[in-house]
Amino acid sequence: MADKVIYATYDDEQVLLKGAKDLVSKGIYIRDVYSPFPIHGLDPIIGVKHTRIAITAFIYGCIGLLLAVFGMWFFMIQDWPMNIGGKPNFTLIDNLPAFVPISFEFTVLLAAHGMALTYFLRNWTLPGVKARNPYPETTDDKFVMELHLHDNHDQSEAELEEMLKATGTTRIEAR
């Protein structure tokens, strides 16, 4: 049997925020909230964990720095050394101050692009992938709370719907 999902629609984000606090204080697990804009303070209430994308940005930045330094050493010193403006390129250490801007820019380039690609892959928001949004109204003016019966096995569907009605929801739909 498939897991039954309950969607509660709200007209106001403050009503949804207060309702989420009430439900979580009663032990109800809220799977997700769909809204047209971020709701400040909702993440800690429904238990959304902090993202680890900063760690991936650091890793991609380190890879960018290593590739930049290796590339500059190989192209400017090993493969094709040139005397540019009276500054001979015989060692990397002698020319390191000239390589700092290039290293910085390549580090930022790889960190930003790697972070963006990681975000797209992690959230599966790629071209051609169907968006997972149960209510198209959430992109305009509605707020939807998603609860799964499996996550809240202590309560029945009727009990969950009664609790949701008490929070000020405008529409409840079970699928």
pLDDT band, residue 1 (cuts 50/70/90): very low
- What is the tens place of the pLDDT at every residue in 80-122? 887 777 666 777 787 788 889 999 999 999 999 999 999 999 9
**Structure-model confidence comparison of residues 35 and 77, the more confident one:** 35
Of residues 49 and 132, more confidently modeled: 49
How is 146-166 classified by DSSP, letter by letter?
EEETTTTTTS-HHHHHHHHHH
pLDDT of the residue at 161: 92
Average pLDDT value for residue range 131-151: 86
Backbone conformation region of residue 7, classed left if phi is above 0, alpha if psi is from -120 to 50, else beta:
beta
What's the pLDDT score for residue 87? 67
Question: Are the CB atoms for 110 and 64 separated by under 8 Å?
Answer: yes
What letter would DSSP give residue 4? P
Whole-angstrom Cα distance, residue 128 to residue 103? 35
Give the burial class of 23: count Cβ atoms within 10 A of its Cβ; 0-12 exposed, 13-18 middle, 19 or more buried: buried
Name 143's bridge partners: 10
Q: CB 74: neighbour CB atoms within 10 A?
A: 11
pLDDT 10s digits, 9-55: 999 999 999 999 999 999 999 999 999 999 999 999 999 988 899 99
